[in-house]
Amino acid sequence: QLQLQESGPGLVKPSETLSLTCTVSGGSISSSSYYWGWIRQPPGKGLEWIGSIYYSGSTYYNPSLKSRVTISVDTSKNQFSLKLSSVTAADTAVYYCARHFLANYDILTGYYNLGWFDPWGQGTLVTVSS
Amino acid sequence: EIVLTQSPGTLSLSPGERATLSCRASQSVSSSYLAWYQQKPGQAPRLLIYGASSRATGIPDRFSGSGSGTDFTLTISRLEPEDFAVYYCQQYGSSQTFGQGTRLEIK
For chain B, list residues whose CB is within 8 angstroms of any CB belonging to chain A. Answer: 1, 31, 33, 35, 37, 43-47, 50, 56, 88, 90, 92-93, 95-101
Per-residue pLDDT tens for A106-130?
Answer: 788 888 889 999 999 999 999 999 9
* CA dist B86 → A73, B5, B73 (Å): 32, 14, 15
The minimal CB distance from B50 to the residues A98, A116, A123 is found for A116
Render the burial of A16-28: b for 16+ CB within 10 Å, e for the rest.
eebbbbbbbeeee
The segments of chain A whose pLDDT lies below 70 read: none
Mean local confidence (pLDDT), B61-75? 97
Mean local confidence (pLDDT), B34-41? 98
What are the DSSP E strand ranges found in A1-130? 3-7, 11-12, 18-25, 34-41, 48-53, 59-61, 69-74, 79-84, 93-106, 111-120, 124-128
Looking at the complex, report in whole angstroms how far the Cα of residue A83 sits from the nearest Cα belonging to chain B.
19
Residues A128 and A13 sit within 8 Å (Cβ to Cβ): yes
Cis omega (within 30 of 0) on the bond before A119? yes
Residues in chain A within 8 Å Cβ distance of B1: 63
At B100 the pLDDT is 97
Which H or E run includes B6?
strand B4-7
Question: Cβ separation of B99 and A118 shorter than 8 Å?
Answer: no
